[in-house]
Structure 1
């Protein structure tokens, strides 16, 4: 029969609506201002520290919702942002400088919703408050580093192939290495060797056949720049994740820019220290010949320096540094064959050669790994930032069992957490290319709260206006359109909450307001088409059927063009523009679904398949 639908269609639509409603529910629970407190160097916060915090908060009359110890870190929840800020200053005084205290917003989602992965929508910087940085990446430095690595690699390869050469140096032109030879035969052999190793290298022979220019192709240069940018993004993301910043945004912006947004962070000095923090290693031999007691008394040997283990044990090390952390390209934590924590180190070509040459004659001696970190001190620079103080300690020393190369392990660490933290810091200290802050903005939490209130108010007033218009103008069919509009909002919020990378920004809220107005356009087209069909003398059931079928082409045409614009905005835009594009695109898709499918099912359920002489339209 005309305008009758099978039960499974209703069940599918109801199931979709219920799923989206379930994942939209966490947005009804506002997030709590919170503190994330973790111990420095990957240590674990002790139980007594939690007790001390609770007692200090109670003594200072700071209302605390809860203080939890989760995975070795403290999560303290508060009722307001003012109490959160007071608690942060108090926590720093109670715990000291060996702990990292970060502001965050902790979701208050019930456990039964969290168990199915339901979380509230992620809010952008303009709604939550925080700091925004635009960083410029020095791409020329990335190319120079790659050329330096090529120079070292060419020298090693030519020596191993027993090809004699005069010099291997970076050329006067950009992205070029010049190799000089004594004989033309040596140059010919080098061409055969290098061309077989890498086909993206451009080899140019000189006229006298004694010089070879090795250039990087445009494709290789683009790959180097892209790798430097993506690697720096990964490193910066590791840095901000290390201190527990809630929902940080670290993303690419153009060819050589990186946008960093830290929601909840209001101290730009702290944010700069996070981005500019650096950590590295030095590898030195242990001096076992000198008198340690005399060194502790102030009589240091000429060729040694006094260091301390992280447990306070003194140790004499050679002044000569075998290798620095500048050559570390990667560091990962894991376990050795005895199930003890370790950090696996990978060096670049130059570092591998240096380590191999330095360790071949010292097999059997002890090698110490010195951890070096720069932390803000009490003194300030002229611009108000803290002067970075160099801190160094021995994290392990082990006997060299064999000649070392590009890959080796650091063992003897106290815990897996320390190994993971050390690996993270070493990766963070190995930026592929230098970065420079070229723009910074701070958005206060009060402004973000005001933006949310104004945005919600705009959505509410827009929704009320549309609901009243539809009821007054289309009567009972207007109620159907309003039900579809409500379902549309539920679908939008549910989908936005389910998408991992979706962030709601202030322009995104404007997109929701725009969608509220646009969502009824499809219903207006359908209802007007039904009116036209009735005016032409068709029956009620024919008018409903033809109205939905013939209006669909117009609805699709008008919405697809808008959807294409939203996709283009998402592809080329960044930050708030991308947030607007996401909400607009989702709103278009859900509005088409609710108008064409949802409202039709509802109309057919109420008026379909019945002998009617008129419609309340």
Structure 2
């Protein structure tokens, strides 16, 4: 093994080890037991109440708590307050070592400790330490509401006039604005999947898949803050009276009223300061707030102002600088007040321009992040916490189990086929794709700390499809080189050189789509884009670096049967299949199907959007014993008149009890019918209605409009890139083919769902289905670019061949790749469609349609449009190029 391959192999192994460490642990651990294993300085700790070791804290808690109750966050926090413990003594970072807060990188081999000494308040230190321990004790791969459940709570708006308080710009109600703001806050907190929707006229319901929130409901209280930020002037006159206590009032000689406020991080003996009662500027001048570290290693909140706000703040600080007390030399001070509480009061010696400022206050990272997120999304109304309860997974355990088995079956089929068809190369491809999946999951879990849900899985499935496609593309190129009589070494070199350009082009166009989804999308659309972007980067790395390294090692070790020479096109005519002669019939037929599908969508427009989009009713029922979630699915499916029925079980937060209520979410006016249906079919469970309310859609208008905008801009981005990289005819063909695939997939999904009466698919769109449509965009453009790249290559290799023959040759040259990629992807998607359950069944069905339409459109839509655009003249292709010709370069 030469030196080049040695370092590549070592780098790959190191990357695997790091990735595995980032996805561990797989399961949650009890906080008390985990904390006991992470103690760094137990022997030297000295605390109140005679405790010298953390193990004694755990032993005492076990004696005080019921036998079946675990030692959780709340138990440790309350015990620490009662006994005045300082947990930093047990978990502090050793001298000279930088502690970690939440890092999962190699947490099981070392005990890095937690740096919390910058916080002066003991309770804040304890809070930081316990939250860090709780976060690290949880499974690295977080599951969403559909897979795991979570916590739900309601918030009711106070002092709100529903009938008159409308946003004049958008016409939206105040509650719509509250839903939008709360969604933005929760997304900013790093929670990848949340449900925020209106409940009745004056309340919203929030669902979060977060164990931290379950164990520490105090997070919920912080979410309801209105976040009214004010900048006020501090009186520094030495002749001002000394305030005795916070809240005192005083008016100076100029008649300006002041109030005595105490900083939130003040020391025990610190006195309040006089702050003007009226603010000089408010939070409207802020463009963005963000957490950042200060020079001492603590955290503060940075503020960037709007252009007008920067001028306002500069004038204000210039005025404050002039208030310095010349007698005592005390400089002027600016009071930063949030919701009536003084957060900090920095000194101001001169005018502060530049459009930025800082709120300091010895914050922990969590406090700085929470404050900055709240400042970015201030509420105009105050909210009161109502009910709090835990909710069960929305996906039934049986459906999840069958779907996982279907995934396993699909994976086994793909692995078997790749090894049988490609021999040693197939095993390399499977390892490469497996490493690709590991890298994506590790990045999401360890770096982005994402919650894994069905929209994220959609992007991951697309990533796997593109990774398999890249390997098949390379192998088919190597096969061509071997048939030409080249040695395995030269065939490997030539195959990668010719496949490199196609792989880069295909992935860059998909990356453009992902980037625009991240830029313009919100909620599940943005999450899909992030996962897809990560997957594209890892797919290119694994295909061009890892697979090549392993294939090179096999060749060097003497493996000659690297890629089998058998061809999938043995029965095809020697000159190839003339797809071009069928173009008119195929083109016309496909658009007729699209038209029928669009008509079906139009005729069913009132019913195809599910509760996630349109809202509906929510009925809460008590029962004597729960009904299995899978049984509920089957029962509701048997009664088509009920339409869509979503159901979850819920229980009181922290009760430790099982499900206590059944929640049915239906279309408007059907919840009581659903309950009557259950009462008739399950009389033994004694279902009784306890409450009924209207609910809004969990997919807001903002998410829907952002999704449409994102896809539209993505199509324009694809058009621009392909026009510059290839030529305008290619660009028009690619965009039209992508639009065709989206319309056909949506239309067939609705049409087949209606014709099969919901047996093959539901034909109704729910929130996860939004991601499945986005998946089709990525798959379609990837398939089209592969064909176009080959057309461009054949134009250069055959300078005297007419354009019609060039298109035919190119399609036939990539036919094996198209069939094999579609077949392997269909193996996984079809098994998931046939054996999956619930929403996963619809999800897989859409992908099956997308695979077939994507392959079809690259041959019969994109290529003919390219041909018609240039009127069959190859010279017209060269004349239409916007940029000089250039090729991607690859190195050995």
TM-score by length of 1: 0.47
1 or 2, which has the higher strand percentage? 1
Q: Comparing both chains, which one has the higher relative contact order based on Cα–Cα distances under 8 Å and sequence gaps of 6 or more?
A: 1
